[in-house]
Chain A
Amino acid sequence: MGQITLKSVRKSFGDVHVIPGVDLEIRDGEFVVFVGPSGCGKSTLLRLIAGLEDTTAGQILIDGKDATDLPPARRGLAMVFQSYALYPHMTVRKNIAFPLKMAGLSEAEQAKKVEAAAKVLNLTAYLDRRPGQLSGGQRQRVAIGRAIVREPAAFLFDEPLSNLDAALRVTMRQEISELHQALKTTMIYVTHDQVEAMTMADKIVVLNAGRIEQVGSPLDLYHFPDNLFVAGFIGSPKMNLIEGAEAARHNARTIGIRPEHIGVGSGPWEGTVQLSEHLGSDSFVKVQVDGIGVLNVRAGGEIGVHHGDRIRLNPEPDKIHRFDADGKAIR
């Protein structure tokens, strides 16, 4: 089981209210991603759940039981740290066995579980090496191995891929997703990378300045952002946000249109191409649109526009997001 409930959880460091108050329900088996810009409080929230920090107010329930004042060791959670936090003086085998040793398991049981975990994670050949002799991806796997042997109620990941290079990040991302499908254990994953959030999550929690901006499935957030912050944060390249007369025409303070929802060729908007990047499959075109401003457009790979060209743009009308003066979505 791994159901986690946060009830008006607050965290302050002195006068600084890092988390002004968060309510959240995480169901058993869910893959939840906390995403937000750096300093938004997502790591703090994770550490509160882990028990590495204590809450200033509010309650944390794990499987219905109050865990607010439990030490981390007794919450039955496992954590994978950004720096992996492997014990450098222990072999991979001892690293993975450490939580079992702490739990007082017999040597034989420890060995059995370590072997099993190592097999799942392709670490069998490296069991007698030390972390210093492993590559970044292997270290990451050891950290995960150390987490899974405990059979925790939930896994906590604190930006686990940010120290890896781009290619490895994609591989590890898939491995973690596969692991989740295999184990079906609750996972809480903190990242500032919205691509990771979109690809891995069952449920994304978008945080900003310690507040939850929106909770929902990746596609929910993509299609129906509740507010400007989420609209701007989710999606890559970023949504174009337009204010002024054009927005007023749609009865909104601000309108948003994603680059992939703007057609090129004919349409109501006309502008001059400032920059076009041809990636092969896609082209990103930056257009100075008359009376509106700079828009980013994502077009097909075959489009042949260049700096200085005049082109017409056509926003898909049903893909236009409208926001009021408070930045809230108008639906």
Chain B
Amino acid sequence: MARASSPRRMILTTLAAWGVALLIFFPVLWMILTSFKTEASAVANPPELLSASWTLENYAEVWARSDYPRFFWNSVVISIGSTLLGLAVAIPAAWAMAFVPGKRTKDLLMWMLSTKMMPAVAVMIPIYLLFQRLGLFDTKTGLILALMLMNLPIITWMLYTYFKEIPGEILEAARMDGAGLRSEILYVLTPMALPGIASTLLLNVILAWNEAFWTITLTTTKAAPLSAFIASFSAPQGLFYAKLSAASTMAIAPILILGWFSQKQLVRGLTFGAVK
């Protein structure tokens, strides 16, 4: 919808837009800045910016005091694992809904989404007990499974909207060319939908990375990801602002970097494929 406008107006809108964007981004920026200050400087009054004393000490201390690499690795395995598993289950389902739609397809999708409306807390105890019973508690497998199921409706819905953009004739051509269902999905549909699949993957990795209910409820130490790492920092040591900021920055940095580098796919993904 972008339209031409006078240079004067452009300067004004540019200033306004940058002002708003910086305001939205400011909390993250302030956290990152605080993480490089000394504790005293972090709580100084009035707040220090140019006069602050800068240090890397906070990171060193957070690193030394906790096993960051393990939390980080758990986060990576759980978020990527759950997303890949989710894709494996959702791609066939989305194929079916997009290319062989029935009267109930829309209802089925809505039902899937509605399962996500059930508050996690409401079923926390049964799931906790089930995970204990099945030996899934505090395991990466368990969390991969739980987060996969959590995000499955979203993954399916996103893939469905992307698949629907692909003309059915191409899949029929594959069928005429002698492709079975497996070949049709593997050699034709998946490569064609790759941008959409990439967006879905990215968004769901982020959703899984940021998930902080099941990851905390269903783990203690072994499988705990970064959400648990940060939870352990925020509780009682409330006044160690710089260290808290450093730990927070360490928890979100990987996803922040991933998000910024894959901005294009992510923006597409963030719209859940629902808006063009």
Contacts and interface: CB of A to CB of B under 8 A. Distances in A.
Q: Is chain B in direct contact with chain A in the complex (CB below 8 A)? A: yes
Interface of A: 50-52, 71-74, 77-79, 81-83, 85-90, 98-99, 102-103, 146, 150
A81 B169 contact: yes
Contact of A88 (B175, B177, B187, B192): B192
Contacts of A71: 175
A81 B170 CA distance: 9
Contacts of A88: 170, 192
A148 to B, nearest CB: 12
A81 B171 CA distance: 11
A82 B177 CA distance: 16
A150 B178 contact: yes
Given A85-B167, A89-B194, A102 B176 contact: no
A99 B184 CA distance: 11
B192 A89 contact: yes
Interface string B183-204: 1000110011010000000000
Query: Looking at A52, A72, A77, A85, which has the most chain B CB atoms within 10 Å of its CB?
Result: A85
A146 B175 contact: no
A56 B265 CA distance: 44
A83 B177 contact: no
A16 to B, nearest CB: 15
Interface of B: 167, 169-170, 172-180, 183, 187-188, 191-192, 194
A71 B176 CA distance: 9
Contacts of B172: 50, 52, 72, 79, 81, 85
Main secondary structure of the interface of B (DSSP, over half): helix
A83 B187 CA distance: 19
B175 A52 contact: yes
Contacts of B180: 73, 102
A227 B169 CA distance: 35
A82 B167 CA distance: 12
Contacts of A77: 176
Contacts of A81: 169, 172-173
Contacts of B179: 73, 98, 102
Contacts of B169: 81-83, 85
Contacts of B177: 73, 78, 98-99, 102, 146, 150
Contacts of A90: 191
B167 A83 contact: yes
A-B complex: 3 closest residue pairs judged by Cβ atoms: A85-B173, A99-B177, A102-B178
B188 A87 contact: yes
A87 B194 CA distance: 13
A99 B172 CA distance: 12
B192 A103 contact: no
A89 B176 contact: no
10 contacts: A72-B175, A78-B177, A79-B176, A85-B169, A86-B170, A87-B173, A87-B192, A98-B177, A102-B177, A102-B179
A98 B176 contact: no
